[in-house]
Amino acid sequence: MPRPRGQAQSLYYDYPHYVSAPAPELGGDAVRHAVAIVGAGPVGLCAALTLARHGVPSVVLDAKSSVGEGSRAICIARHSVEIFQQLGVAGRFLGKALPWTDGTSYYRERPVYRLRMPHGPDERYYPMYNLQQQYIEQFLVEAVQATGRVDLRWGHALDTLQLADDEAVLEVESPQGRYRLRASYLVAADGAHSRVRQQLGLKLAGAAYEGRYVIVDVQMRSDYPTERRAFFDPVANRGATILVHRQPDDIWRIDYQLRDDEDEQEALSEREIRARVGAIVAMLGERAPWQLEWWSLYKAYTLCLEDYRHGRALFAGDAAHLVPIFGVRGLNSGLADAADLGWKLAMQLQGRAGPHLLDSYTPERRGATLDVFAQAGRSTRFMTPPTRGERLVRDAALSLAADHDCARRLLDPRQSQPYSYAASPLTTPDDECGAFAGGPRPGMALANARLDDDTFLLDDLGREFTLLAFGDAVPEDADRAALTAAARDAGIDLALRCLPAGTPAAARCGVGAGGALLVRPDRHVCARWRNIDAARLREALRRALGQWPA
């Protein structure tokens, strides 16, 4: 069992200490591992869990001996909880996280915009949850340990790296000594200051924004509900902005923007932080005593690698891209990277992937990053206008927002949504399959529609590809056998689910009687048909596995 860590003096969280064990390589074991993952943060752990779910073992290296310090990424979107469900950690997560749907934006002291994210009785999960990242990492570590397929090496730090045509060779420093580790593939999930990236001489490219935020956690009892509060030009930070979020354990996240003339070093002194937080707490109308828990400085960037794959190395999370926090896309995007990469790497290692499957990782996930840049870039410019002109227009919009829809829409924080892989080479476009009035277009994530009182669509998906057939799409046993045989031809153990037509779930899927959806292991729809047959299924699966000729 992990022991409390003395050096992290948290007010509410006992940091586990994970024991560093000697690597088998130190005893002369020169095995080549299937996958080495550098970084035991949430992205690396999700990649390990996804691989384990598909039967692929991995080694995870992390220089630390505990979870990451500080609450950091606290807002987890519905689509990330669906990833957690597939990895078996949703229960732990939901038992601790705070769900929310709403938000309020204020201009000076006046509420001018009410955020209300879509949510209803037919949704299994709320659109957003708040939970400190260290809890998320702890739950993921526990799940990883339970798989028996992940060799988690704490206190083991990547030193140097060489990529060959058929493997990655890592020199690793550990408390027990230095050793060489070989792996068929390497996943770089080692964060913004990625050692893997440095070793390969790769640089992130893009833009940096002017705005600087001090991010502070305080412990304070308050009955204020869990919602996003954004304050523009408030009395406690004139000329700048403040964001406030509730977290479990009576922890409140307060992000306040520094004005252009403020000195960073002075702003990060405890005395100054106490003064600023005191003014903000007073502005919020809170009377209870509060204590400082943790703080950090944040600057917004839109930076990413040109290619997320470099031979045997694949980059995920902050190692591949840095995105602004506005719209909560950082960790949520990294988790989607891991979900995408995990199944592809598994298929590759199991000899079931075509020559193009791993290469689809960059267009899918870098495409998602560029979409995030477009969305979050707008949010960032609204939160911290970089020019006088943008500030004038932003302030004018804020002053109109209470009374005018057109201005109010500009305050929408554009919260994280799953990216559509419509343009992916793995996706079979609709024009090859027929016209549909609604439902998830090929490339989009499957909606987690309610099936009955207790069951939702994702509960019943297979580990690999799933064919959701509605009504009499697959009327005879012989038809079922033909479809599963076609999937086997493509190397896939297909889960075939026959669902009634005319139900709310069928309506959300946009498929009538006789129609079908093909769903990838990461819940994205990769093809749909008005009528399904074995030949079409085989072709779509081959495309989804990158099995077209090189």
Partner 1 sequence: MTPDEFEHAYERLAAALDAVGEANETLFLVRLALLLADACPDPAAFAAALEAAQAGLPPADGA
Among 26, 292, 407, 507, which residue interacts with partner 1 (rule: CB under 8 A)? Answer: 407
Among 393, 422, 498, 507, which residue interacts with partner 1 (rule: CB under 8 A)? Answer: 393
Q: Which residues contact 68 (CB under 8 A, 6 or more apart)?
A: 41, 133, 134, 137
> Please, which residue, 208 or 396, has the CB nearer to partner 1?
396
Binding span for partner 1 by CB under 8 A among 21-29, 163-171, 301-309, 395-403: 395-403
**Do residues 397 and 410 touch, judged by C-beta distance below 8 A?**
yes
> Please, which residue, 406 or 435, has the CB nearer to partner 1?
406
Bridge-based pairing state of the strands 251-258 and 241-247: antiparallel
Closest CA to 68 of 159, 168, 1, 154: 154
Residue 207 in the binding site for partner 1 (CB under 8 A): no
> Please, which residue, 407 or 513, has the CB nearer to partner 1?
407
> Please, which residue, 142 or 395, has the CB nearer to partner 1?
395
CA angle, 433 as apex, 428 and 434 as ends, to 5°? 135
| CA 141 – CA 48 distance, rounded (Å) | 10
Give min distance, CB of 78 to partner 1, in A: 31
Q: Which residues contact 226 (CB under 8 A, 6 or more apart)?
A: 98, 99, 100, 130, 245, 246
Grouping H, G, I as helix, E, B as strand and the rest as coil, residue 235 is helix
Structure tokens at 95: 């038992």
Give min distance, CB of 393 to partner 1, in A: 6
| CA 112 – CA 475 distance, rounded (Å) | 55
Residue 411 in the binding site for partner 1 (CB under 8 A): no
**Do residues 376 and 302 touch, judged by C-beta distance below 8 A?**
yes
Give min distance, CB of 396 to partner 1, in A: 4
> Please, which residue, 272 or 412, has the CB nearer to partner 1?
412
Give min distance, CB of 373 to partner 1, in A: 23
Give min distance, CB of 339 to partner 1, in A: 38
Among 19, 164, 208, 396, which residue interacts with partner 1 (rule: CB under 8 A)? Answer: 396
> Please, which residue, 26 or 407, has the CB nearer to partner 1?
407
Binding span for partner 1 by CB under 8 A among 75-83, 210-218, 366-374, 400-408: 400-408
| CA 533 – CA 221 distance, rounded (Å) | 60
Closest CA to 442 of 428, 431, 425: 428
> Please, which residue, 273 or 397, has the CB nearer to partner 1?
397
Among 65, 147, 176, 399, which residue interacts with partner 1 (rule: CB under 8 A)? Answer: 399
Binding span for partner 1 by CB under 8 A among 32-40, 388-396, 420-428, 447-455: 388-396
Considering only CA atoms, give the Rg of the chain: 24
Residue 341 in the binding site for partner 1 (CB under 8 A): no
What amino acid occupies position 170?
L
Residue 395 in the binding site for partner 1 (CB under 8 A): yes
Give min distance, CB of 390 to partner 1, in A: 11
Closest CA to 317 of 343, 340, 296, 292: 340
Residue 268 in the binding site for partner 1 (CB under 8 A): no
Binding span for partner 1 by CB under 8 A among 176-184, 270-278, 393-401, 540-548: 393-401
9: Cα within 13 Å, side-chain hemisphere = 3
Give min distance, CB of 400 to partner 1, in A: 6
Give min distance, CB of 401 to partner 1, in A: 10
Residue 404 in the binding site for partner 1 (CB under 8 A): yes
Binding span for partner 1 by CB under 8 A among 172-180, 213-221, 307-315, 404-412: 404-412
What amino acid occupies position 502?
G
> Please, which residue, 240 or 511, has the CB nearer to partner 1?
240
For tokens 């290296």, the residue is 61
> Please, which residue, 76 or 397, has the CB nearer to partner 1?
397
> Please, which residue, 405 or 476, has the CB nearer to partner 1?
405
Residue 110 in the binding site for partner 1 (CB under 8 A): no
Q: What are phi and psi of 220, to 5 degrees?
A: -160, 135
Give min distance, CB of 488 to partner 1, in A: 53
> Please, which residue, 351 or 389, has the CB nearer to partner 1?
389
| CA 164 – CA 248 distance, rounded (Å) | 46
Residue 392 in the binding site for partner 1 (CB under 8 A): yes
Q: What are phi and psi of 316, to 5 degrees?
A: -140, 155
**Total binding residues for partner 1 by CB under 8 A?**
10
| CA 539 – CA 358 distance, rounded (Å) | 18
Q: Which residues contact 289 (CB under 8 A, 6 or more apart)?
A: 220
| CA 321 – CA 390 distance, rounded (Å) | 26
Residue 400 in the binding site for partner 1 (CB under 8 A): yes
Give min distance, CB of 412 to partner 1, in A: 15
Binding span for partner 1 by CB under 8 A among 145-153, 348-356, 398-406, 463-471: 398-406
Closest CA to 81 of 324, 252, 253, 336: 336
Residue 397 in the binding site for partner 1 (CB under 8 A): yes
Give min distance, CB of 397 to partner 1, in A: 6
Among 406, 435, 478, 550, which residue interacts with partner 1 (rule: CB under 8 A)? Answer: 406
Q: Find the distance separating the first CA and the last CA of the chain, reported in whole Å.
A: 49
Give min distance, CB of 111 to partner 1, in A: 19
Q: Which residues contact 305 (CB under 8 A, 6 or more apart)?
A: 197, 202, 204, 205, 315, 320, 321, 366
Which residues contact partner 1 (rule: CB under 8 A)?
392-393, 395-397, 399-400, 404, 406-407
